[in-house]
Structure 1
Protein backbone atom coordinates (compact mmCIF):
# COMPACT_ATOMS: atom_id res chain seq x y z
CA UNK A 1 0.00 0.00 0.00
CA UNK A 2 1.38 3.41 -1.00
CA UNK A 3 0.68 6.02 1.68
CA UNK A 4 1.16 9.77 1.99
CA UNK A 5 1.14 11.97 5.09
CA UNK A 6 -1.74 14.43 5.43
CA UNK A 7 -2.87 16.78 8.22
CA UNK A 8 -5.33 14.02 9.16
CA UNK A 9 -2.82 11.17 9.23
CA UNK A 10 -1.62 8.73 6.61
CA UNK A 11 -3.79 8.16 3.54
CA UNK A 12 -3.43 6.05 0.39
CA UNK A 13 -1.91 7.75 -2.63
CA UNK A 14 -4.51 8.75 -5.24
CA UNK A 15 -4.91 6.24 -8.04
CA UNK A 16 -3.20 8.59 -10.53
CA UNK A 17 -0.01 8.72 -8.44
CA UNK A 18 0.33 5.03 -7.64
CA UNK A 19 2.65 3.10 -9.93
CA UNK A 20 1.11 0.43 -12.13
CA UNK A 21 1.38 -3.09 -10.64
CA UNK A 22 4.24 -5.15 -12.00
CA UNK A 23 3.22 -7.11 -15.11
CA UNK A 24 2.28 -10.73 -14.52
CA UNK A 25 3.13 -13.70 -16.66
CA UNK A 26 -0.51 -14.02 -17.69
CA UNK A 27 -2.33 -14.38 -21.03
CA UNK A 28 -4.07 -10.98 -20.56
CA UNK A 29 -1.89 -7.94 -19.89
CA UNK A 30 -3.71 -5.30 -17.86
CA UNK A 31 -3.24 -1.58 -17.22
CA UNK A 32 -5.37 1.10 -15.65
CA UNK A 33 -5.89 2.69 -19.07
CA UNK A 34 -7.13 -0.62 -20.49
CA UNK A 35 -9.49 -1.17 -17.55
CA UNK A 36 -10.86 2.37 -17.86
CA UNK A 37 -11.40 1.94 -21.61
CA UNK A 38 -13.47 -1.21 -21.12
CA UNK A 39 -15.39 0.37 -18.24
CA UNK A 40 -16.26 3.36 -20.42
CA UNK A 41 -17.57 1.11 -23.20
CA UNK A 42 -19.77 -0.75 -20.71
CA UNK A 43 -21.08 2.46 -19.13
CA UNK A 44 -21.85 3.93 -22.56
CA UNK A 45 -24.20 1.02 -23.24
CA UNK A 46 -25.54 0.10 -19.81
CA UNK A 47 -25.05 3.26 -17.73
CA UNK A 48 -23.35 3.44 -14.36
CA UNK A 49 -25.93 1.09 -12.84
CA UNK A 50 -24.79 -1.61 -15.25
CA UNK A 51 -21.12 -1.14 -14.45
CA UNK A 52 -19.38 -3.60 -12.13
CA UNK A 53 -15.93 -5.01 -11.51
CA UNK A 54 -17.23 -8.48 -12.42
CA UNK A 55 -18.60 -7.27 -15.74
CA UNK A 56 -15.34 -5.50 -16.61
CA UNK A 57 -13.35 -8.60 -15.68
CA UNK A 58 -15.55 -10.75 -17.91
CA UNK A 59 -15.00 -8.37 -20.85
CA UNK A 60 -11.25 -8.50 -20.25
CA UNK A 61 -11.20 -12.27 -19.80
CA UNK A 62 -9.67 -12.19 -16.31
CA UNK A 63 -10.79 -12.93 -12.79
CA UNK A 64 -12.36 -10.02 -10.84
CA UNK A 65 -9.66 -10.09 -8.16
CA UNK A 66 -6.98 -9.15 -10.70
CA UNK A 67 -8.64 -5.78 -11.20
CA UNK A 68 -8.22 -4.92 -7.52
CA UNK A 69 -4.47 -4.80 -8.09
CA UNK A 70 -5.17 -1.68 -10.21
CA UNK A 71 -8.19 -0.06 -8.51
CA UNK A 72 -9.10 -0.59 -4.89
CA UNK A 73 -12.80 0.29 -5.23
CA UNK A 74 -15.54 1.57 -7.55
CA UNK A 75 -14.74 5.19 -6.71
CA UNK A 76 -11.22 4.83 -8.12
CA UNK A 77 -12.62 3.15 -11.21
CA UNK A 78 -14.94 6.12 -11.81
CA UNK A 79 -12.03 8.51 -11.24
CA UNK A 80 -10.07 6.79 -14.01
CA UNK A 81 -13.04 6.80 -16.37
CA UNK A 82 -13.77 10.47 -15.78
CA UNK A 83 -10.16 11.48 -16.31
CA UNK A 84 -10.04 9.51 -19.55
CA UNK A 85 -12.94 11.64 -20.80
CA UNK A 86 -11.17 14.79 -19.65
CA UNK A 87 -8.19 13.73 -21.77
CA UNK A 88 -10.42 14.19 -24.81
CA UNK A 89 -11.68 17.55 -23.57
CA UNK A 90 -8.12 18.74 -22.93
CA UNK A 91 -7.43 18.54 -26.66
CA UNK A 92 -9.61 21.64 -27.12
CA UNK A 93 -6.97 24.00 -25.67
CA UNK A 94 -4.46 26.05 -27.62
CA UNK A 95 -6.60 28.82 -29.13
CA UNK A 96 -4.96 32.26 -29.18
CA UNK A 97 -7.88 34.23 -27.71
CA UNK A 98 -9.34 33.72 -24.24
CA UNK A 99 -12.90 33.56 -25.55
CA UNK A 100 -12.18 31.04 -28.28
CA UNK A 101 -10.38 28.86 -25.74
CA UNK A 102 -13.30 28.86 -23.29
CA UNK A 103 -15.84 28.24 -26.05
CA UNK A 104 -13.82 25.33 -27.43
CA UNK A 105 -13.39 23.70 -24.01
CA UNK A 106 -17.05 24.05 -23.05
CA UNK A 107 -18.31 22.77 -26.39
CA UNK A 108 -15.87 19.85 -26.21
CA UNK A 109 -17.20 19.11 -22.70
CA UNK A 110 -20.75 19.05 -24.06
CA UNK A 111 -19.75 16.73 -26.90
CA UNK A 112 -18.09 14.38 -24.42
CA UNK A 113 -21.16 14.35 -22.18
CA UNK A 114 -23.45 13.56 -25.11
CA UNK A 115 -21.16 10.72 -26.20
CA UNK A 116 -20.83 9.42 -22.62
CA UNK A 117 -24.06 10.33 -20.84
CA UNK A 118 -22.85 8.83 -17.55
CA UNK A 119 -20.19 11.56 -17.50
CA UNK A 120 -22.91 14.17 -16.93
CA UNK A 121 -24.09 12.17 -13.90
CA UNK A 122 -20.66 12.63 -12.32
CA UNK A 123 -20.48 16.40 -12.84
CA UNK A 124 -21.38 18.86 -10.13
CA UNK A 125 -20.12 17.05 -7.05
CA UNK A 126 -16.66 17.40 -5.64
CA UNK A 127 -14.07 18.68 -8.13
CA UNK A 128 -12.41 16.17 -10.40
CA UNK A 129 -8.69 16.18 -9.65
CA UNK A 130 -7.19 13.75 -12.14
CA UNK A 131 -4.29 15.07 -14.24
CA UNK A 132 -6.40 15.64 -17.36
CA UNK A 133 -9.22 17.23 -15.36
CA UNK A 134 -6.68 19.59 -13.78
CA UNK A 135 -5.33 20.41 -17.24
CA UNK A 136 -8.83 21.35 -18.44
CA UNK A 137 -9.41 23.42 -15.29
CA UNK A 138 -6.08 25.19 -15.77
CA UNK A 139 -6.79 26.01 -19.41
CA UNK A 140 -10.25 27.33 -18.57
CA UNK A 141 -9.15 29.44 -15.61
CA UNK A 142 -6.09 30.77 -17.43
CA UNK A 143 -8.23 31.82 -20.39
CA UNK A 144 -10.83 33.53 -18.19
CA UNK A 145 -8.08 35.33 -16.29
CA UNK A 146 -7.24 37.17 -19.55
CA UNK A 147 -10.83 38.29 -20.11
CA UNK A 148 -11.72 41.96 -19.82
CA UNK A 149 -13.70 42.96 -16.78
CA UNK A 150 -12.17 40.42 -14.42
CA UNK A 151 -10.10 42.05 -11.69
CA UNK A 152 -8.12 39.71 -9.54
CA UNK A 153 -8.61 36.31 -8.00
CA UNK A 154 -12.04 36.93 -6.48
CA UNK A 155 -13.55 37.89 -9.85
CA UNK A 156 -11.89 34.91 -11.50
CA UNK A 157 -13.17 32.53 -8.84
CA UNK A 158 -16.74 33.78 -9.28
CA UNK A 159 -16.48 33.57 -13.07
CA UNK A 160 -15.19 29.98 -12.97
CA UNK A 161 -17.94 29.03 -10.51
CA UNK A 162 -20.70 30.59 -12.61
CA UNK A 163 -19.42 28.96 -15.80
CA UNK A 164 -19.19 25.57 -14.09
CA UNK A 165 -22.75 25.95 -12.76
CA UNK A 166 -24.07 26.67 -16.26
CA UNK A 167 -22.18 23.75 -17.83
CA UNK A 168 -23.32 21.25 -15.20
CA UNK A 169 -26.95 22.40 -15.29
CA UNK A 170 -27.17 22.59 -19.08
CA UNK A 171 -25.56 19.20 -19.67
CA UNK A 172 -27.63 17.42 -17.06
CA UNK A 173 -30.80 18.94 -18.50
CA UNK A 174 -29.90 17.92 -22.05
CA UNK A 175 -28.92 14.39 -21.06
CA UNK A 176 -32.11 14.04 -19.00
CA UNK A 177 -34.19 15.08 -22.02
CA UNK A 178 -32.43 12.52 -24.24
CA UNK A 179 -33.12 9.80 -21.71
CA UNK A 180 -36.76 10.90 -21.43
CA UNK A 181 -37.16 10.63 -25.20
CA UNK A 182 -35.77 7.10 -25.17
CA UNK A 183 -37.90 6.06 -22.22
CA UNK A 184 -41.19 7.54 -23.43
CA UNK A 185 -40.74 7.41 -27.19
CA UNK A 186 -41.89 11.04 -27.35
CA UNK A 187 -39.48 13.79 -28.34
CA UNK A 188 -39.70 17.38 -27.15
CA UNK A 189 -41.57 18.61 -30.24
CA UNK A 190 -44.24 15.92 -29.87
CA UNK A 191 -44.56 16.67 -26.14
CA UNK A 192 -44.99 20.37 -26.88
CA UNK A 193 -47.58 19.65 -29.56
CA UNK A 194 -49.55 17.44 -27.17
CA UNK A 195 -49.64 20.15 -24.51
CA UNK A 196 -50.04 23.01 -27.00
CA UNK A 197 -53.85 23.40 -26.68
CA UNK A 198 -53.64 23.45 -22.87
CA UNK A 199 -50.83 26.02 -22.91
CA UNK A 200 -52.72 28.19 -25.38
CA UNK A 201 -55.78 28.21 -23.11
CA UNK A 202 -53.65 29.16 -20.12
CA UNK A 203 -51.85 31.96 -21.96
CA UNK A 204 -55.15 33.30 -23.34
CA UNK A 205 -56.24 34.06 -19.75
CA UNK A 206 -53.77 36.94 -19.70
CA UNK A 207 -52.34 35.82 -16.35
CA UNK A 208 -48.92 34.97 -17.79
CA UNK A 209 -47.99 37.79 -20.20
CA UNK A 210 -44.22 37.43 -19.95
CA UNK A 211 -44.33 33.69 -20.53
CA UNK A 212 -46.68 34.34 -23.47
CA UNK A 213 -44.16 36.75 -24.98
CA UNK A 214 -41.39 34.18 -24.63
CA UNK A 215 -43.51 31.42 -26.21
CA UNK A 216 -44.96 33.50 -29.05
CA UNK A 217 -42.16 35.95 -29.87
CA UNK A 218 -39.06 34.13 -28.62
CA UNK A 219 -36.67 32.29 -30.90
CA UNK A 220 -37.12 28.52 -30.90
CA UNK A 221 -33.63 27.19 -31.47
CA UNK A 222 -32.27 23.68 -31.63
CA UNK A 223 -30.19 22.28 -28.78
CA UNK A 224 -26.84 23.25 -30.35
CA UNK A 225 -27.86 26.86 -30.94
CA UNK A 226 -29.51 27.19 -27.54
CA UNK A 227 -26.41 25.95 -25.74
CA UNK A 228 -24.05 28.17 -27.73
CA UNK A 229 -26.13 31.35 -27.40
CA UNK A 230 -26.65 30.88 -23.70
CA UNK A 231 -22.95 30.22 -23.22
CA UNK A 232 -21.96 33.40 -25.07
CA UNK A 233 -24.51 35.41 -23.08
CA UNK A 234 -23.01 34.13 -19.82
CA UNK A 235 -19.49 34.97 -20.97
CA UNK A 236 -20.65 38.46 -21.94
CA UNK A 237 -22.17 38.99 -18.51
CA UNK A 238 -19.20 37.59 -16.59
CA UNK A 239 -16.56 39.56 -18.41
CA UNK A 240 -18.30 42.66 -19.72
CA UNK A 241 -17.08 41.72 -23.20
CA UNK A 242 -20.24 42.57 -25.08
CA UNK A 243 -18.58 43.41 -28.35
CA UNK A 244 -18.32 39.81 -29.51
CA UNK A 245 -21.06 38.39 -31.70
CA UNK A 246 -22.42 34.91 -30.91
CA UNK A 247 -21.02 33.35 -34.10
CA UNK A 248 -20.92 29.63 -34.73
CA UNK A 249 -19.74 27.16 -32.14
CA UNK A 250 -16.02 26.36 -32.46
CA UNK A 251 -14.96 22.94 -33.64
Structure 2
Protein backbone atom coordinates (compact mmCIF):
# COMPACT_ATOMS: atom_id res chain seq x y z
CA UNK A 1 0.00 0.00 0.00
CA UNK A 2 1.39 3.39 -0.99
CA UNK A 3 2.11 6.03 1.60
CA UNK A 4 -0.84 8.12 0.41
CA UNK A 5 -3.25 5.31 1.34
CA UNK A 6 -1.54 3.83 4.38
CA UNK A 7 -3.18 4.91 7.65
CA UNK A 8 -1.04 6.62 10.26
CA UNK A 9 -0.50 4.95 13.62
CA UNK A 10 -2.38 6.37 16.56
CA UNK A 11 -0.47 9.29 18.01
CA UNK A 12 1.27 8.95 21.33
CA UNK A 13 1.40 12.32 23.09
CA UNK A 14 4.45 11.34 25.14
CA UNK A 15 7.29 12.18 24.69
CA UNK A 16 6.20 14.31 21.70
CA UNK A 17 3.13 14.28 19.41
CA UNK A 18 3.84 13.12 15.88
CA UNK A 19 2.13 12.96 12.49
CA UNK A 20 3.14 12.67 8.86
CA UNK A 21 2.46 16.37 8.41
CA UNK A 22 4.82 17.31 11.26
CA UNK A 23 7.48 14.98 9.90
CA UNK A 24 7.20 16.41 6.38
CA UNK A 25 7.22 20.02 7.58
CA UNK A 26 10.35 19.35 9.62
CA UNK A 27 12.02 17.75 6.60
CA UNK A 28 11.09 20.74 4.42
CA UNK A 29 12.60 23.14 6.96
CA UNK A 30 15.85 21.17 6.90
CA UNK A 31 15.90 21.05 3.09
CA UNK A 32 15.10 24.76 2.77
CA UNK A 33 18.00 25.60 5.07
CA UNK A 34 20.68 23.18 3.87
CA UNK A 35 19.45 21.24 0.83
CA UNK A 36 18.43 17.61 0.42
CA UNK A 37 21.69 16.34 1.91
CA UNK A 38 20.40 17.64 5.24
CA UNK A 39 17.34 15.39 5.05
CA UNK A 40 17.38 11.91 6.55
CA UNK A 41 15.00 10.12 8.85
CA UNK A 42 17.57 10.40 11.62
CA UNK A 43 18.02 14.15 11.17
CA UNK A 44 14.27 14.74 10.92
CA UNK A 45 13.73 12.74 14.10
CA UNK A 46 16.36 14.84 15.87
CA UNK A 47 14.66 18.03 14.72
CA UNK A 48 11.40 16.75 16.18
CA UNK A 49 13.10 15.55 19.37
CA UNK A 50 11.95 11.95 18.93
CA UNK A 51 13.72 8.67 18.35
CA UNK A 52 14.26 7.67 14.68
CA UNK A 53 12.30 4.45 15.14
CA UNK A 54 9.12 6.41 15.85
CA UNK A 55 9.20 7.80 12.32
CA UNK A 56 8.99 4.36 10.72
CA UNK A 57 5.39 4.00 11.79
CA UNK A 58 4.58 6.95 9.54
CA UNK A 59 7.17 6.75 6.76
CA UNK A 60 8.96 3.59 5.67
CA UNK A 61 11.80 5.04 3.57
CA UNK A 62 13.53 8.29 2.67
CA UNK A 63 12.03 8.00 -0.83
CA UNK A 64 8.56 8.13 0.69
CA UNK A 65 9.59 11.19 2.69
CA UNK A 66 10.82 12.94 -0.48
CA UNK A 67 7.55 12.12 -2.24
CA UNK A 68 5.60 13.60 0.66
CA UNK A 69 7.79 16.72 0.64
CA UNK A 70 7.14 17.31 -3.05
CA UNK A 71 3.42 16.83 -2.61
CA UNK A 72 3.37 19.22 0.35
CA UNK A 73 4.93 21.92 -1.82
CA UNK A 74 2.37 21.18 -4.53
CA UNK A 75 -0.28 22.45 -2.12
CA UNK A 76 1.21 25.85 -3.06
CA UNK A 77 0.90 25.07 -6.79
CA UNK A 78 -2.77 25.48 -7.63
CA UNK A 79 -3.13 26.77 -11.21
CA UNK A 80 -6.01 29.16 -11.78
CA UNK A 81 -7.46 31.06 -14.73
CA UNK A 82 -10.48 31.58 -16.95
CA UNK A 83 -9.14 29.56 -19.89
CA UNK A 84 -6.50 26.96 -20.67
CA UNK A 85 -3.80 29.50 -21.50
CA UNK A 86 -4.21 31.33 -18.20
CA UNK A 87 -4.19 28.03 -16.32
CA UNK A 88 -1.02 26.76 -18.04
CA UNK A 89 0.63 30.15 -17.47
CA UNK A 90 -0.39 30.01 -13.80
CA UNK A 91 0.93 26.46 -13.50
CA UNK A 92 4.32 27.44 -14.91
CA UNK A 93 4.66 30.53 -12.75
CA UNK A 94 3.52 28.69 -9.62
CA UNK A 95 6.05 25.88 -10.07
CA UNK A 96 8.82 28.41 -10.66
CA UNK A 97 7.86 30.42 -7.59
CA UNK A 98 7.71 27.28 -5.44
CA UNK A 99 11.16 26.19 -6.65
CA UNK A 100 12.60 29.61 -5.82
CA UNK A 101 11.22 29.24 -2.29
CA UNK A 102 12.30 25.59 -2.00
CA UNK A 103 15.42 25.19 -4.15
CA UNK A 104 15.58 21.44 -3.49
CA UNK A 105 12.36 21.04 -5.49
CA UNK A 106 14.40 21.54 -8.67
CA UNK A 107 16.28 18.33 -7.84
CA UNK A 108 13.11 16.26 -7.51
CA UNK A 109 10.61 17.45 -10.11
CA UNK A 110 10.73 15.78 -13.47
CA UNK A 111 11.68 12.36 -12.11
CA UNK A 112 9.24 9.57 -11.55
CA UNK A 113 5.54 10.53 -11.61
CA UNK A 114 4.28 12.22 -8.45
CA UNK A 115 1.01 10.71 -7.27
CA UNK A 116 0.23 12.62 -4.10
CA UNK A 117 -3.19 14.24 -3.64
CA UNK A 118 -1.95 17.82 -4.04
CA UNK A 119 -0.02 16.95 -7.20
CA UNK A 120 -3.04 15.15 -8.62
CA UNK A 121 -5.27 18.13 -7.80
CA UNK A 122 -2.91 20.41 -9.71
CA UNK A 123 -3.00 18.10 -12.73
CA UNK A 124 -6.77 17.84 -12.52
CA UNK A 125 -7.12 21.64 -12.63
CA UNK A 126 -4.97 21.84 -15.74
CA UNK A 127 -6.80 19.06 -17.60
CA UNK A 128 -10.21 20.44 -16.59
CA UNK A 129 -9.22 23.82 -18.07
CA UNK A 130 -8.42 22.08 -21.37
CA UNK A 131 -11.69 20.13 -21.50
CA UNK A 132 -12.98 20.11 -25.05
CA UNK A 133 -9.50 20.13 -26.57
CA UNK A 134 -8.46 16.91 -28.29
CA UNK A 135 -6.36 14.76 -25.96
CA UNK A 136 -3.86 14.30 -28.79
CA UNK A 137 -3.10 18.01 -28.30
CA UNK A 138 -3.65 18.23 -24.53
CA UNK A 139 -1.17 15.55 -23.48
CA UNK A 140 1.89 16.79 -25.43
CA UNK A 141 0.95 20.41 -24.66
CA UNK A 142 0.96 19.84 -20.90
CA UNK A 143 4.13 17.74 -21.19
CA UNK A 144 5.80 20.55 -23.14
CA UNK A 145 4.92 23.15 -20.51
CA UNK A 146 6.17 20.91 -17.71
CA UNK A 147 9.40 20.20 -19.60
CA UNK A 148 9.94 23.92 -20.24
CA UNK A 149 9.35 24.85 -16.61
CA UNK A 150 11.54 22.06 -15.24
CA UNK A 151 14.40 22.99 -17.58
CA UNK A 152 14.12 26.71 -16.86
CA UNK A 153 13.87 26.22 -13.11
CA UNK A 154 16.83 23.85 -12.98
CA UNK A 155 18.94 26.31 -14.95
CA UNK A 156 18.01 29.19 -12.65
CA UNK A 157 18.67 27.20 -9.48
CA UNK A 158 21.97 25.93 -10.87
CA UNK A 159 23.01 29.52 -11.58
CA UNK A 160 22.02 30.56 -8.05
CA UNK A 161 24.10 27.77 -6.56
CA UNK A 162 27.05 28.62 -8.77
CA UNK A 163 26.91 32.26 -7.64
CA UNK A 164 26.96 31.16 -4.01
CA UNK A 165 29.77 28.67 -4.61
CA UNK A 166 32.00 31.06 -6.56
CA UNK A 167 30.95 34.34 -4.98
CA UNK A 168 30.49 35.75 -8.50
CA UNK A 169 27.20 37.25 -9.64
CA UNK A 170 26.35 37.83 -13.31
CA UNK A 171 28.07 41.23 -13.42
CA UNK A 172 31.24 39.91 -11.82
CA UNK A 173 31.24 36.96 -14.24
CA UNK A 174 30.99 39.35 -17.20
CA UNK A 175 33.87 41.44 -15.87
CA UNK A 176 36.01 38.33 -15.45
CA UNK A 177 35.25 36.63 -18.76
CA UNK A 178 34.36 39.64 -20.90
CA UNK A 179 37.92 40.33 -22.11
CA UNK A 180 38.31 36.71 -23.19
CA UNK A 181 35.12 36.90 -25.27
CA UNK A 182 36.23 40.19 -26.83
CA UNK A 183 39.50 38.59 -27.93
CA UNK A 184 37.75 35.44 -29.15
CA UNK A 185 35.12 37.29 -31.18
CA UNK A 186 37.82 39.50 -32.69
CA UNK A 187 39.16 36.44 -34.51
CA UNK A 188 36.05 36.44 -36.69
CA UNK A 189 35.44 32.72 -36.11
CA UNK A 190 32.11 33.20 -34.33
CA UNK A 191 30.19 35.95 -36.16
CA UNK A 192 26.73 34.73 -35.19
CA UNK A 193 27.60 34.53 -31.50
CA UNK A 194 29.32 37.89 -31.63
CA UNK A 195 26.23 39.51 -33.15
CA UNK A 196 24.01 37.94 -30.51
CA UNK A 197 26.18 39.20 -27.65
CA UNK A 198 26.51 42.71 -29.09
CA UNK A 199 23.07 43.25 -30.62
CA UNK A 200 20.74 40.72 -29.01
CA UNK A 201 18.34 41.47 -26.14
CA UNK A 202 19.76 41.11 -22.66
CA UNK A 203 16.85 39.86 -20.60
CA UNK A 204 16.82 39.18 -16.90
CA UNK A 205 15.65 35.83 -15.52
CA UNK A 206 12.01 36.90 -15.16
CA UNK A 207 11.86 38.30 -18.69
CA UNK A 208 13.59 35.24 -20.13
CA UNK A 209 11.13 32.89 -18.43
CA UNK A 210 8.03 34.85 -19.48
CA UNK A 211 9.20 35.27 -23.07
CA UNK A 212 10.00 31.60 -23.52
CA UNK A 213 6.71 30.61 -21.93
CA UNK A 214 4.77 32.93 -24.24
CA UNK A 215 6.53 31.42 -27.28
CA UNK A 216 5.50 27.96 -26.10
CA UNK A 217 1.89 28.93 -25.32
CA UNK A 218 1.59 30.66 -28.72
CA UNK A 219 2.62 27.40 -30.36
CA UNK A 220 0.08 25.44 -28.33
CA UNK A 221 -2.61 27.98 -29.27
CA UNK A 222 -1.85 27.40 -32.95
CA UNK A 223 -2.37 23.66 -32.49
CA UNK A 224 -5.53 24.10 -30.44
CA UNK A 225 -6.99 26.47 -33.04
CA UNK A 226 -5.81 24.42 -35.99
TM tier, shorter chain?
over 0.9
Computed over aligned residues only, the root mean square deviation of the Cα atoms, in angstroms, reads 1.6
Between the aligned partners of 1:178 and 1:192, the Cα distance in structure 2 is 16
**Contact 1:102–1:144 (CA under 8 A) maintained in structure 2:** no
**Deviation at 1:78?**
0.5
Task: Give 1:222's aligned residue.
Answer: 204
Task: Give 2:221's aligned residue.
Answer: 239
Query: What aligned pairs does 1:1-251 form with structure 2 within 5 A after superposition?
Result: 13-90=1-78, 92-93=79-80, 95-144=81-130, 152-240=134-222
**Deviation at 1:202?**
2.0
Between the aligned partners of 2:34 and 2:208, the Cα distance in structure 1 is 28
Give ranges in structure 2 of 5+ residues lacking alignment: none
Q: Matched residue pairs, number?
A: 223
**Deviation at 1:206?**
2.6
Between the aligned partners of 1:25 and 1:82, the Cα distance in structure 2 is 27
Between the aligned partners of 2:3 and 2:131, the Cα distance in structure 1 is 30
Between the aligned partners of 1:235 and 1:213, the Cα distance in structure 2 is 28
TM normalised by structure 1 equals: 0.84
Between the aligned partners of 1:180 and 1:203, the Cα distance in structure 2 is 25
- With over 3 angstroms needed to count, the CA separation of the structure-2 counterparts of 1:186 and 1:230, relative to structure 1, is same
**Deviation at 1:145?**
5.1
Instruction: Look up the SS of the partner of 1:43 in the other structure.
Output: helix
Between the aligned partners of 2:124 and 2:192, the Cα distance in structure 1 is 40
**What do residues 115-167 of structure 1 show as CA deviations (whole Å, max 9, x unaligned)?**
11111000121111111111112222333456xxxx62222221122111111
TM normalised by structure 2 equals: 0.93
**Deviation at 1:239?**
2.2
Between the aligned partners of 1:69 and 1:43, the Cα distance in structure 2 is 22
**What do residues 73-119 of structure 1 show as CA deviations (whole Å, max 9, x unaligned)?**
001101110000000112x42x2122222112211110110111111
Between the aligned partners of 1:216 and 1:170, the Cα distance in structure 2 is 24
**Contact 1:106–1:167 (CA under 8 A) maintained in structure 2:** yes
Between the aligned partners of 1:46 and 1:131, the Cα distance in structure 2 is 27
